[in-house]
Structure 1
Amino acid sequence: MESLLLSLLVMPMYDTSDDITALISARICHDLASPLGAIANGVELLELSGVADIPEAVLLSDSVNCATARMAFIRLAYGFANSQSKMAPSQAQQLLSGNFADRKIAIQWRVSQDMPKPLAKLLFLLVQCCETALPYGGEIQLHQRGEVFDLHTNAKEVRHDPALWGCLAPDAARPTVTSALVHFELARLQSGKLGRDISVRFSDTTLDMTIE
């Protein structure tokens, strides 16, 4: 998995986008790919030398795997999404599973068809919004009904901030968010670009989202 995720980080950057946030994200991910790759190569050398099972080597391996998966997720969710490129279901599942592996969140990408990357970008951002509502982890499932997508989240506890989630509604005012919650603003902007409406429903243990 490391080689696939690292290859995603070093995909060609696009310098024709007017989205400065996407360009900055792509630049950071691209520049971090080399040091992450060097660390991954070092871990492989440790494995070949027969010391991969010592605690220090295990910690190093787990850390570089998590960092690589996180950066690959950010590369798609925050970077520039080429409308001519598509994402296969297996690739989406791998990116999401790797990103949330250490966060006690199990996610199922139950979409059988390839989808344009701008749409995948929106869905990845919305999955990250779901993560914000899950302080103790949980389960997230994505289903497709024609052109409509449903995100269902089930957890021991789901936290709901009406003002924050309200920003995703059509014609909502621009929210005031911190850096930790910037994915809500990016999801709002991306849904507007794609002409998608988002509705959200909460209970104490569930979060349901419809993207039309």
Structure 2
Amino acid sequence: MLCDAEGVKALGDAQVKDEAIEFASLMCSRLCHDLLSPVGALNNGLELLADEDDPALRKEYLSLLADGARASAEKLKFFRLAFGAAGGFGDRIDAGEVRASLDSLAGMSGKVAFGWVADCTTLDRSATRIVLNLGLIALDALVRGGRLDVGLEGGEIVVRAEGARLVLDGEVRRVLAGEALPTTSRTIGAVLASTVAERDGRTLLLQEEDGVLLLGASRV
């Protein structure tokens, strides 16, 4: 009978597994969405290159292919740190690698200046995930470019985005504010940052002013 203690436990375990599978599926959907553009550019470039005999145009297409390959590689490095299990890294991750990954992502559009101030040389896995996911949310909000600054001091995490037009997704905002919503591919980064922060004893920060978005995490 499913109403006995063993049956209730089985139902609970099944629900946890279903939620984990759904979370993993949504994360894969987000990654595929973000990688579709640079990988698609590679495919288009190869098709153009195959049909082109003009040396000048072939050189141009090869340059586009190089750009697409570089963007794909940088995004994969970022996602590995932000979403991956980080099994290949130790308990601590080089802060320089975290900085370089976020700097590279910010620089892809050519419209976002990046700043980094930190009083540490390494980050634990939880802080790494929080920093990168909040940074990604802030970058998504800078729809017309601007400036992204990250500050790490005394265990506090602050991500500041400033631009002529900031657009923070409404569901992402609600998740960061602590509201429980069904997870979607758009909110997966906010859900991950919120979950990791709570597990790590941190409280998320969300402030919006005219042209400025502040995100962060501090110890309770």
Please give the TM-score of this superposition, normalised by the length of structure 1.
Answer: 0.69
Whether the 8 Å CA contact 1:106–1:140 is kept in 2: the answer is yes
CA distance in 2, matches of 1:60, 1:161: 32
State the partner residue of 1:106.
Answer: 113
Q: Percent identity?
A: 20
Residues 4-48 of structure 1: per-residue CA shift (max 9 Å, x gap) = xxxxxxxxxxxxxxx6657986xx99xx9xxx9xx9xxxxxxxxx
List gaps (5 residues or longer) in structure 2: 1-19, 43-54
What is the Cα deviation at residue 121 of structure 1? 1.1
- Aligned pairs for 1:3-152 (under 5 A) are 54-81=59-86, 84-103=90-109, 104-112=111-119, 113-152=121-160
Please give the TM-score of this superposition, normalised by the length of structure 2.
Answer: 0.67
State the partner residue of 2:9.
Answer: none
**What residue identity is the alignment partner of 2:73?**
T
CA distance in 2, matches of 1:124, 1:97: 10
CA distance in 2, matches of 1:132, 1:101: 13
What is the Cα deviation at residue 161 of structure 1? 4.8
Number of aligned residue pairs: 175
Counting helix residues as a fraction of each chain, which structure ranks higher? 2
Whether the 8 Å CA contact 1:133–1:158 is kept in 2: the answer is yes
What is the Cα deviation at residue 163 of structure 1? 5.0
Residue 210, structure 1, aligned to residue 216, structure 2: yes
* Aligned with residue 173 of structure 1, among 159, 176, 179: 179
What is the Cα deviation at residue 180 of structure 1? 3.0
| CA shift in 2, pair 1:52/1:98, >3 Å | farther
**What residue identity is the alignment partner of 1:59?**
L
CA distance in 2, matches of 1:175, 1:124: 21
CA distance in 1, matches of 2:74, 2:175: 28
List gaps (5 residues or longer) in structure 1: 1-18, 40-49
